Amino acid sequence: MADSFFLRRSAGITATLAVALSLAACAGSGASGTGSTDSSADSIELVSPGALTICTGDSPPNIFYDENNELTGVEIDIADALASELDLELKLSEYAFAGLIPALQAQQCDVIMGSLYIKPEREEIANFVPYLYSGTAVGVAKANPKDVSGFDESLCGTKVVAITGATGAVEAENRSKECADSGEAPIEITLVDEGTHAIQQVLAGQADAFIDTSEIVDFYHRESDGDFEMTGEPFGKIEIGAATLKNNAALNEALDEAFQVLLDDGRYHEILEQWGVQSADITAGA
């Protein structure tokens, strides 16, 4: 993988999980307008008046740093379009994946847009507006010395790297248990906070495979000029959504209406086409 790509990510993710903003600083702030949507901005609670503050993370091509060290990607473009539709400024706050939900709960942001899968346990904490489909995949170095063939028994006894708090890490744990239950060697799992660190470990031979979203595996395949690649087929297709606190139903409704406008006027599909991720189209069904 090109050194310049890793240098662009060297700033890392500045998660501040333990810091909570006071409720008085973030409740009851209204925006000046709501674009063409019907929801009243006065009823929307915002961390910063006139701004939609997004908690986001590292999950290319959905979210990553460009050559100017600025956050870009599919979800960043969708977030920007939603903020524009609501007549709000877009503010981005980056966190390690495991810190996204704690940051939302601490009211450090209004909404999570960070490749967050919609799962029942998360729906107990937040309301969601689905906007992408995603799957999980296994990535390996081109040489693939351990002959990993996908998310199957070939992973038994291997070293796997995954992102802390992400579905890939959970799937790795589940597969490791299945290996042990069948008499095979369990998986040795290493957790990291960034995809770039995971890919570096795989390419350096420190890990045999990386498990994460199919989009991120495909992205690093292209960034590495083929030195890293997907093995086997993606699995577990699931929705990604914008997460808001349960007690901020007005914001959830406003985002849902704004997203419908993006669907109706074609901006959503233009974004997917621009990034070449039409397979993630939420309107296409599972």
In which element (H, E) is residue 265 found? helix 249-265
Q: Strand, helix or coil at 158?
A: coil
Note the pLDDT of residue 41. Answer: 53
- Statement: residue 1 has pLDDT above 50: no
Question: What's phi and psi for 188, nearest 5 deg?
Answer: -90, 115
Distance CA 150, CA 143 (A): 14
Burial of 48 (C-beta count, 10 Å sphere; 0-12/13-18/19+): middle
Q: Where are the domains of the chain?
A: 3-133+240-284, 135-237
Question: Is pLDDT at 18 greater than 60 in this prediction?
Answer: no
Per-residue model confidence as pLDDT tens digits over 126-182: 999 999 999 999 999 999 999 999 999 999 999 999 999 999 999 999 999 999 999
**Whether the Cβ atoms of residue 61 and residue 271 lie closer than 8 Å to each other:** no
Is 13's pLDDT higher than 60? Answer: no
- Looking at domain 135-237, its CATH architecture is 3-Layer(aba) Sandwich (3.40)
Confidence at residue 33, expressed as pLDDT on a 0 to 100 scale:
37
- Tokens matching residue 253: 């409704």
Q: Which fold has domain 3-133+240-284?
A: D-Maltodextrin-Binding Protein; domain 2 (3.40.190)
pTM, rounded to two decimals: 0.77
| Predicted pLDDT of residue 284 | 87
Residue 224 has pLDDT above 50, yes or no: yes
pLDDT score recorded for residue 42: 57
241-283 tens-digit pLDDT? 999 999 999 999 999 999 999 999 999 999 999 998 998 999 9
Residue 43: its pLDDT value, please? 66
Query: Dihedral of CA 26/27/31/37: which sign?
Result: positive
- Whether 135-237 and 3-133+240-284 are alike in CATH topology: the answer is yes
234 contacts 113 by C-beta, under 8 angstroms: no
pLDDT (mean) for 51-55: 97
pLDDT tens figures, 94-132: 999 999 999 999 999 999 999 999 999 999 999 999 999
Rg, C-alpha atoms of the chain: 19
CA distance linking residue 157 with residue 186, whole number of Å: 5
Element (H, E) at 59: none
